Structure 1
Amino acid sequence: MYYGAVEAGGTKFVCAVSDENFDIIHRVSIPTTSPSETLSHVFEFFNQYSLQSIGIGSFGPIDVNKDSDKYGYITSTPKPGWGYFDFIGTMKEKYNIPMAWTTDVNAAAYGEFRQGSAKENGSCLYLTVGTGIGGGAVVDGNVLEGFGHPEMGHILVRKHPDDSYEGVCPYHQNCLEGVASGPAIEKRYNKKAQELASDQKVWELEAYYIAQALVNYTLILRPEKFILGGGVMKQEQLFPLIRQQFVTLLSDYVDTPALEKSIVMPELEDNAAITGCLLLAAEAKEQI
């Protein structure tokens, strides 16, 4: 029995096939170009196997509302060629098997919840900080979705008094993604994040914005664990700074778990989303 998984990113698609124990037996990375070209390579990969089901975690925004006539679509993405693309419909034309459909960050949250940093917890929130910022949550074992999926990277944050940068987001400017994503760091300082690794002030400002977001998420969702991934979070000096800012901003308003154990890196590292997709694929098979 084989399960398929697609972590569909704006830069690359990671596709994997696992056995029934979720041990990956084959995986590939495919550059994200046009939908037709990219999916032709996806099909070429999956055609080698007799799949039971497929789990897909995609960059967004996407439509996850099963009552919508655009369910399964990537919707208002700025990525050229992918706006209002019928992802699930195109996959279903090729493979008439059960498919799970969610965001890449929801898939990562679910992977970490089931097999990673939050496997001992009842809830978690996964935030990726990189080219963009996105978040997914698992509550009582279920991926959090409603009319749509969360867009945690676009919450509005309070600007730091010493930060004059307007923000990189074309929709909101000073949303979290606008002021704390990798491109925001680069444009604010005219250097790539890795070139700024030793500059304490850079990371204190970054921690201020991320901690603001975590305080907001805490007050709304009260997750047991925050898992912070993505390229920017590979700057491990951020974690103690975020915890310090979190304490200051929350100001003892509500109780939280010990921060050293609840604001953490992904245990599955870069495999969180693909693991989540495989787990969701198995569940999609069970639900038929």
Structure 2
Amino acid sequence: MSAPLFAGVELGGTKMILLRARGRDIIERVSIPTTTPGETLAAAANRLRAWQAEEAFAALGIASFGPLRLDRAADDFGHMLPTPKPGWTGADIYGALGGPLACPAAIDTDVNGAALAEARWGAGAEGETPSDALCYLTIGTGLGGGFALHGRALHGAMHPELGHIAIRRAPGDDFSGACPFHGDCIEGLVCGPALAQRFGVAGDQIQADNPRWDHVAHDIARLVGTILLTTAARQVLIGGGVGIGRAALLDVVRAKVVAQLGGYLPFVTADSIASIVRLPALGDQAGPLGAVALAMDALEAQKNS
């Protein structure tokens, strides 16, 4: 008997990835540019309906950029909350994608989904003891963070919004920040558009030896330290263009995390930090596989209801 067929949607700020997976093995994927909500969601819904007509899905998982309303009791469940992405505030993501399909469906943030995938099949599943507390950060066009705690994504009044935490700035760093809501929150300091403003050139043109990277590393390390202190995460994975694309920066961040914590957390040492603060084991597949993990959870929830 073949594994169940799942459909997944990873909605990003520049593109949307739609996929079909047999179990966790991705068998087909399609990319759609993220333009307006009407155009993007209609194209995705049409593709999902065509796939569903070929072979019915067991479930659908939607992993989207946020912020999102994830309270199923709310009138605007599955809608986009106020976002810097022009035109997307209020977009009904869940209704447009999950509504037309006769199958269980789940929606969560893309980073919560990626955290689940890494916990089940990536960094959190390595070694003899699976990780029970993992954080996934993506630093790219924006900064987002998700958590997989005891195998489930973290929700409460909302979902984690790590990008808008204010951190202690490095002495002498006078960059005012780029966040339209908060100025110099962590997203406003280290995301791609912020780096372009801070350095005066596009991110891929910034030289690795530019001394201002030290301030960026300081800021990321402050965020990592905050995560370790407040959530007791065992691992903090740093993905996205700034994370994966600047691997050398990670060594500087690690050293600063150890120095900034000052020995307070006994499990964070110069010897252990490389296993705590690291790249995602699934690389750029963490996001798409996160959508698959959400679909699997949707099917399990229906079976247990």
Report TM bin, short chain.
over 0.9
Aligned partner (choices 22, 28, 31) of residue 29 of structure 1: 31
Aligned partner (choices 228, 248, 253) of residue 259 of structure 2: 248
Aligned to 2:120: 114
Is the Cα contact below 8 Å between 1:196 and 1:202 reproduced in 2?
A: no
Aligned to 1:268: 282
Measure the CA separation in 2 of the matches of 1:131 and 1:78: 11
Helix, strand or coil: the match of 2:51? Answer: coil
Shift of 1:185: 1.2
Shift of 1:83: 1.1
Aligned to 1:128: 138
Measure the CA separation in 1 of the matches of 2:300 and 2:116: 17
Aligned to 1:5: 8
Tell me whether 166-175 or 189-198 shows the greater mean CA deviation. 189-198
Measure the CA separation in 1 of the matches of 2:84 and 2:186: 18
Is 1:57 matched up with 2:63?
A: yes
Measure the CA separation in 1 of the matches of 2:253 and 2:18: 33
- Runs of 4+ that moved beyond 4 A: none
Task: Output one character per residue of 1:169-193: Cα deviation in whole Å (capped at 9) or x when no partner.
Answer: 0111110011111111111111122
Helix, strand or coil: the match of 1:85? Answer: coil
Q: CA RMSD in A?
A: 1.3
Task: Output one character per residue of 1:100-159: Cα deviation in whole Å (capped at 9) or x when no partner.
Answer: 110011111111111111113121100111111010011111111101000001100122
- Change over 3 Å in CA distance of 1:93–1:121 after alignment to 2: closer
Measure the CA separation in 1 of the matches of 2:207 and 2:236: 23
Is 1:137 matched up with 2:140?
A: no
Aligned to 2:184: 174
Measure the CA separation in 1 of the matches of 2:146 and 2:262: 25
Q: Return 5+ residue gaps in structure 2 as ranges.
A: none
Is the Cα contact below 8 Å between 2:60 and 2:98 reproduced in 1?
A: no
2:255 aligned partner, one-letter code: Q
Aligned to 2:101: 95
Aligned to 1:165: 175
Shift of 1:78: 2.6
Aligned to 2:231: 221
Is 1:48 matched up with 2:51?
A: yes
Aligned to 1:237: 248
Is the Cα contact below 8 Å between 1:159 and 1:174 reproduced in 2?
A: no
Helix, strand or coil: the match of 1:74? Answer: coil
Helix, strand or coil: the match of 2:58? Answer: strand
Task: Output one character per residue of 1:243-285: Cα deviation in whole Å (capped at 9) or x when no partner.
Answer: 1100111111122251111111011111101101102201211
Shift of 1:200: 4.6
Measure the CA separation in 2 of the matches of 1:39 and 1:85: 9
Measure the CA separation in 1 of the matches of 2:5 and 2:79: 25
Shift of 1:80: 2.5
Is the Cα contact below 8 Å between 2:41 and 2:93 reproduced in 1?
A: no
Aligned to 1:280: 294
1:264 aligned partner, one-letter code: R
Q: 1:68-79, aligned counterparts within 5 Å? A: 68-79=74-85
Helix, strand or coil: the match of 1:51? Answer: coil
What TM-score, normalized to structure 2?
Answer: 0.91
Identity %: 36
Aligned partner (choices 13, 16, 20) of residue 17 of structure 1: 20
Task: Output one character per residue of 1:43-70: Cα deviation in whole Å (capped at 9) or x when no partner.
Answer: 2322223212110111111001122111
Aligned to 1:203: 213
Aligned to 1:147: 157
Measure the CA separation in 2 of the matches of 1:191 and 1:108: 30
Measure the CA separation in 2 of the matches of 1:12 and 1:180: 21
